Amino acid sequence: MIKKQADIFDTAKVPLLPLAGKDSGVSMADEMDGEEIVCGCNGVTKGAIVDACVQTFKTVVENETVYLIIEE
């Protein structure tokens, strides 16, 4: 789709990191270890993504959850 520059406007949208178990309230990302590979092509780990986000964006911690504040 990317190489063909296909229009994906009407393509079904799915969560990138869906909940681990139905009605569990826990995402698959929460259950992943920091060393787990997220992108096999480039060997990117969950920890590397988290570190990059924390270094790039302002963060707020509330009820043991870290929120990224993305401002333009």
47 in a domain, yes or no?
Answer: yes
Residue 44 within a domain:
yes
Residue 10 in domain:
no
**CA atoms within 13 A of residue 36's CA, in its CB half-sphere:** 9
20 has a pLDDT exceeding 90: no
Q: How many domains does the chain have?
A: 1
Q: For residue 36, what pLDDT is reported?
A: 92
For residues 19 and 25, the answer to whether their CB atoms sit within 8 Å is yes
Cross-strand bridge partners of residue 60:
67
The CA angle 38-42-46, to the nearest 5 degrees, is 25
pLDDT for res 19: 54
Any domain includes 46: yes
The confidence score (pLDDT) of residue 45 equals 92
Quick: pLDDT tens for 24-63: 667 777 788 999 998 888 889 999 988 888 788 887 777 7
- Within a domain: residue 50? yes
| Structure confidence at residue 15 as a pLDDT band (50, 70, 90) | low
Domain contains 9: no
User: What is the span of the domain harbouring residue 41?
Assistant: 34-69
Residue 49 within any structural domain of the chain: yes
Q: Is residue 16 part of a domain?
A: no
For tokens 């009605």, the residue is 23
